[in-house]
Structure 1
């Protein structure tokens, strides 16, 4: 043991964890931590965006593409509060980070010192953090820092990943104590948490699946978290069962794979949706059956469970049976369960032949293709968003990292952006934080500098966090932002149009002195922040604009003026209770008789 400051202990531990970056924003509650980094910058790099929320979004995206945990730091009071949306976004999408927040000095608890969360409970940001983290620790001594850090990293990684919080009074950064820096290999790195499913349950699952006339496999975000795409493809091919996904599972199976059906849900793809509501057995892997995916659980739109029999596999037992009754629930890591299923299937015989069910799903795919291809070819001005996505997909390499914010642009990517491998498309799901993509694209590019990284966003989301472009310029991060600019918060404006009898308020960007739709000139904004910028109004110019941005090697913003009234095809529904649900604009609910 040796005498060292709390800051030095923390930084040394992070370096031993082989953490490459520290994302955050300085304040008086964080200057001590940063002082500990000062002489270690050749071993750990500080990247600070223009807002704490952006740091969390960057760490979240970094984890999703690399499965490496990045710590984020803030000062006290407003800093942790601004971090909150980003941490919650990660928590509800099963993404991990270590959130280190500053706190008033231990001698100042319950004094109302600058930025203390007090009044009823002293120094109590942890009470806020506990609803959006796997655990919240508050250190009261330097030795606590050494005790809590390995636990935090272990918790963040194991089982269902998620953020872990550590609250640090700022006097601990400079206080010295006789402490020993813990070894991550003993506490944090050497984990073996991948648990298989019950052998009896796995055998029963295979029996149910092989005995079905219309079987399906559903790949959720758990397949991506578990890095189980290889096992998924091998098992699906052996049993010859079509695969569809949630949006969080998009890319689990390549869009080029013959068994691939796409995404089911409110704004999903017709082949997946139609197959899901006609299936007799579904093997669901690592998904939570959210309202967006399940058409608000209304029978006939996405699912008919029962009579469809559901086999639900998840590492988190709380998710099994949460929203649908299960024929069989299996608690286990998706990758391990798929290995078990494949081993049993191989023992039972060769690959299965095609069935009439395969002919049905192929017909669904052809029907959907005939519909979307004509939309993607539109020469209309203003630009059809579907044409924009088509041209971007054509210009971007197969391994491009695609990330979105929340809004109509998200659904265009969901339906029209083909993905050819896992961990190449990222979107905010459960908490759906705006700005996740705008800042998250920087995390993607830092984690995978050799791959192109593109954020498709909207004028609404981009304007919440435009400082991401300045951060990209500062740190030389060649990210690309594609803004589908329609002068409105489109998805909410559309809800008003449908649910509120067309009454629109507070959703369009208008210069009130003239009544004209208005946004800043995003291309000039980008140029003012040291990035490339271009505006596109003619669909014929999309391809060259995307090629220029992707080849630039510098941050680049493309402002695409799209038709503000182009509707997103509704494949299922979303029930905005208690108002009656909207009906699908493509396909129709399955009414059981």
Structure 2
């Protein structure tokens, strides 16, 4: 006797260990939702907008280190979620998107909410440019096999989202349970590629012979859960570590070998160290534009004068932007495990470089000292440096941080120490404004026992304030610190510097700075909202919010002073080819 696919799908997800599904209802997916209500192990996290669900699922996957499941609806539901799914794709976050679709017997009829201007029954094509694969389920008995393939593909190689577009009549179709049962015989995780001892020896001897090598850590280190192995490797040889924006925290910032973030928002010292290195050992990095100062040799990296060793799980990333002397396709956790074992055989005592560590310490102190006057400034609106410094002072070392786009992302990457690897989540590849606030929901759902703070701008928080409804309904105690500069601040600083205007970038009403009352909005959703009125109030408010273990919005006005930059971004040359200028303050 057959069973409903909606029922068997819930059972499949339960057996796979799925504990949360993020999403929003629609007439195409409520048959599945109705079965999900009967589950004793899966909780549905309901939202008011599909982009919120996608970002929350993204944050959940990063924090849980597990493939997230997103449920959405045909047409506008799917397009609403697209930005969040694309953000996950560009940051290599595993996600299975289950989208309701039109019923199969209406193909060609152009039914309600179908996207059909150029072709019939092809809504899954919308996601094709950014997901690893998009399936449409046309035969009910193939659905179990597609599910199994979807999870496997999302998690293997370079992780990322996949889409399963499910015609709504499929959910209500009965099939024999055997079609699902046979998938239990398939492995639920693939063995990941490693490196052999000969390759490890070649890398280690090359680094030992180098005069000024630098390890360059990207977000792939975090994705591979290889931070512990990387730390062991660099500590054994006293190798300095620079990192990309996404690689922040791959080695804890209080490690004396950590240089910091490179590129446009890197310091002169960090960029000089990578530019003058004779070897860069790149791990899980794309050498993205901002991290590499638009790939211009005089600022951050000087390839091919500097030689590159690169390890990545994805072959197409090796040599994408720079020529490679030694290129290895491997899982970083596996590769570093071998490298550590071989390193201890080749050089049991390792290598020490106290002069290097002292140089790094002195330069870190000099940079921190240069910020002291801002961190101690009692002005209001507050200095952004003081906001970051007090957040860091109050938070436990294992607290999770999500950022958005703008000062919060750039400033955190440059100035905010991460002590526990894998506790900072930021939108890197897509740089999506609106990511940080809903992503924090997913992070907290994944780790209810850990403090989660979202550092976001007023522009980013304003994208989807309806996330507060989910926080209230589900009692998800995230703390949102809105660094409110009454602007799309980073773009405003660019526009003012290069064009001497701020049209469309500052929020103004009747000639005065304007902002919604975010604290009042929070209270309207049934969440505590705190509006900071002077600098001395901020730190106690944050401490109280953490102690309350409730969702809290803290709205703090800040000055729109630019993050200091020592690198380069080619857009400056496009704006002002005859001037050397970056951002300016719009205060």
Bucket of the pairwise TM-score, normalised by the shorter protein: over 0.9
Q: Deviations over 1:530-577 (max 9, x none)?
A: 11111113222221011011111111000011012x121012121116
Cross-structure match for 2:101: 103
Q: Cα distance, 1:578 vs. partner?
A: 3.1
Distance 2:329 2:524 in 1: 52
Q: Cα distance, 1:584 vs. partner?
A: 8.2
Deviating more after overlay: 367-376 vs 514-523: 367-376
Count of residue pairs the alignment pairs up: 579
Distance 1:504 1:321 in 2: 39
Q: Cα distance, 1:225 vs. partner?
A: 0.7
Secondary structure of the residue that 2:290 maps to in structure 1? coil
Does residue 547 of structure 2 align to residue 551 of structure 1? Answer: yes
Cross-structure match for 2:223: 225
Q: Deviations over 1:449-488 (max 9, x none)?
A: 0100010001101111101112101001101000011110
Q: Deviations over 1:499-537 (max 9, x none)?
A: 3x21221111112xx221111111111111111111113
Deviating more after overlay: 174-183 vs 56-65: 174-183
> Is contact 1:112–1:119 with CA below 8 Å preserved after alignment?
no
Distance 1:242 1:268, change over 3 A: same
CA RMSD of aligned residues (A): 1.8
Distance 1:584 1:518, change over 3 A: closer
Cross-structure match for 1:142: 140
Cross-structure match for 1:71: 69
Q: Cα distance, 1:154 vs. partner?
A: 0.9
1:575 to 558, 570, 573: 570
Deviating more after overlay: 412-421 vs 468-477: 412-421
Cross-structure match for 1:590: none
Does residue 420 of structure 2 align to residue 424 of structure 1? Answer: no
1:297 to 295, 298, 303: 295
Distance 2:197 2:522 in 1: 56
Deviating more after overlay: 356-365 vs 477-486: 356-365
1:246 to 244, 248, 251: 244
Distance 1:34 1:585, change over 3 A: closer
Cross-structure match for 1:28: 27
Distance 2:358 2:411 in 1: 27
Secondary structure of the residue that 1:207 maps to in structure 2? helix
> Is contact 1:403–1:437 with CA below 8 Å preserved after alignment?
yes
Q: Cα distance, 1:356 vs. partner?
A: 5.1
Cross-structure match for 1:487: 486
Secondary structure of the residue that 1:492 maps to in structure 2? helix
Q: Cα distance, 1:69 vs. partner?
A: 1.4
Distance 2:187 2:419 in 1: 33
Secondary structure of the residue that 2:282 maps to in structure 1? strand
Cross-structure match for 1:172: 170
Q: Cα distance, 1:198 vs. partner?
A: 4.9
Distance 1:183 1:156 in 2: 20
Cross-structure match for 2:364: 365
Distance 1:497 1:206 in 2: 49
Q: Unpaired segments of 5 or more residues in structure 2?
A: none
Distance 1:584 1:258 in 2: 33
Deviating more after overlay: 341-350 vs 43-52: 341-350
Q: Cα distance, 1:173 vs. partner?
A: 0.9
TM-score under structure 1 normalisation?
0.94
Cross-structure match for 2:112: 114
Does residue 516 of structure 2 align to residue 520 of structure 1? Answer: yes
> Is contact 1:118–1:124 with CA below 8 Å preserved after alignment?
yes
Distance 1:534 1:436 in 2: 22
Distance 1:585 1:357 in 2: 31
Cross-structure match for 1:326: 324
Q: Unpaired segments of 5 or more residues in structure 1?
A: 587-593
Distance 1:443 1:422 in 2: 18
Secondary structure of the residue that 2:231 maps to in structure 1? helix
Distance 1:477 1:190 in 2: 31
Deviating more after overlay: 149-158 vs 570-579: 570-579
Distance 1:211 1:347 in 2: 16
Deviating more after overlay: 386-395 vs 270-279: 270-279
